[in-house]
Amino acid sequence: MKQELVEICLRVRDIEATLDFYTNLFDFEIASRREFPEDKFDLVYLNSPGSSVQIELTYNYDAEPYNVGDGFSHLGVTVSDLEKMHEVCKSSAYQTGDLRGLSGGTPSYFFVTDPDGYRIEVKRAK
């Protein structure tokens, strides 16, 4: 049986701030946006260039703040120029960690945090 991961759902508190993060910092594109005011939620699907996996952003109008669970760690994104992306993230309003390497090796990744507290691991593309 063939299987394929097609989406990851994140519940968000401020849909516009979250869209700004993913579309302006990482060049994700809005694939679709559906609003369900009668049910008090909106869905926005994002595509990442070069990937078939979508991020589904779920915005519940009246939700309390979400706790990012300790079982969930992060999403991962690869970039062709890690140092340039690190500078872009550092100059943004988003919490950005230092460039790091495994076991103190050559820097190959860093973390940036989105408006809802989800961490994104930004890795050097191989």
| Domain annotation covers residue 67 | no
Counting the structural domains of the chain, the total is 1
DSSP string, the chain: ------EEEEEES-HHHHHHIIIIIS--EEEEEEEETTTTEEEEEEE-TT-SPEEEEEEETTPPPPPPPSS---EEEEES-HHHHHHHHHTSSS-B---B-GGG-S--EEEEE-TTS-EEEEEE--
| Domain annotation covers residue 1 | no
Q: Which domain holds residue 22?
A: 7-62+74-124
| Domain annotation covers residue 69 | no
Local confidence pLDDT in tens for the 126 residues of the chain:
677 878 999 999 999 999 999 999 999 999 999 999 999 999 999 999 888 899 999 999 998 888 877 678 899 999 999 999 999 999 999 999 999 998 888 999 999 999 999 999 999 998
What CATH number is attached to the domain comprising 115? 3.10.180.10
Q: Is 121 a catalytic residue?
A: yes
| Domain annotation covers residue 34 | yes
| Domain annotation covers residue 86 | yes
| Domain annotation covers residue 80 | yes
**Residue with tokens 């100059």, as numbered in its chain:** 91
CA distance 56 to 8: 6
| Domain annotation covers residue 57 | yes
Of 16, 29, 87, 121, catalytic: 121
0.75 exceeded by the pTM? yes
Please give the pLDDT value at position 5: 78
| Domain annotation covers residue 98 | yes
